Amino acid sequence: MYHPTTRLLTALELLQSRRQLSGPELAERLEVNVRSVRRYIMMLQELGIPVEGGRGRYGAYRLRPGFKLPPLMFNEEEALAVVLGLVTARRLGLAENALAIEGALAKIERVLPVAMRERVQAVQQSLALALTPPGPMPASDLVIILSMAASQRRQVWLSYRAWSGEETDRVLDPYSLVYRSGFWYVVGYCHLREDIRVFRLDRAIEARLREDPFTPPADFDALGHVERAIARTPGVWRVVVLLKTTLEEARRQVPPALATLEEAEHGVMLRCYVNRLEEMAYELAGLRCPLVIQEPNELRDALAALARHIAQLAEGSPAGQ
pLDDT tens string 275-299? 899 999 999 999 999 999 999 999 9
Q: How far apart are CA 45 and CA 51, in angstroms?
A: 6
Is the CB of residue 51 less than 8 Å from the CB of residue 15?
yes
Element (H, E) at 197: strand 195-200
Q: Are residues 298 and 242 in the same domain?
A: yes
Domain presence at residue 132: no
Chain-centroid distance, C-alpha 276? 28
Q: Which residues contact 247 (CB under 8 A, 6 or more apart)?
A: 261, 263, 268
Helices (H), the chain: 4-17, 23-30, 34-46, 76-92, 98-111, 114-126, 140-152, 222-231, 247-253, 277-285, 297-315
Q: Are residues 214 and 258 in the same domain?
A: no
Q: How far apart are CA 41 and CA 52, in angstroms?
A: 9
Domain presence at residue 95: yes
Dump pLDDT digits (tens) for 159-203.
999 887 899 999 999 999 998 877 889 999 999 999 999 999 989
Longest pairwise C-alpha distance within the chain: 81
pLDDT one digit per residue (tens) for the chain, 321 residues: 455 677 777 888 788 777 788 888 888 888 888 888 888 888 888 888 888 875 655 568 888 877 766 665 677 787 788 888 887 777 776 665 666 777 777 777 777 778 877 887 888 778 777 776 667 778 778 888 999 999 999 999 999 998 878 999 999 999 999 988 778 899 999 999 999 999 999 899 999 999 999 999 998 999 989 988 888 888 889 999 999 999 999 999 998 888 899 999 899 999 999 989 999 999 999 999 999 999 999 999 999 999 999 998 888 755 445
Domain presence at residue 71: no
Q: Are residues 206 and 236 in the same domain?
A: no
Q: What is the pTM of this model?
A: 0.60
Which residue range(s) make up the domain with 180? 140-219
Domain presence at residue 227: no
Domain presence at residue 133: no
Q: Are residues 207 and 273 in the same domain?
A: no
Number of domains making up the chain: 4
Domain's final residue, options 187, 219, 251? 219
Element (H, E) at 268: strand 267-274
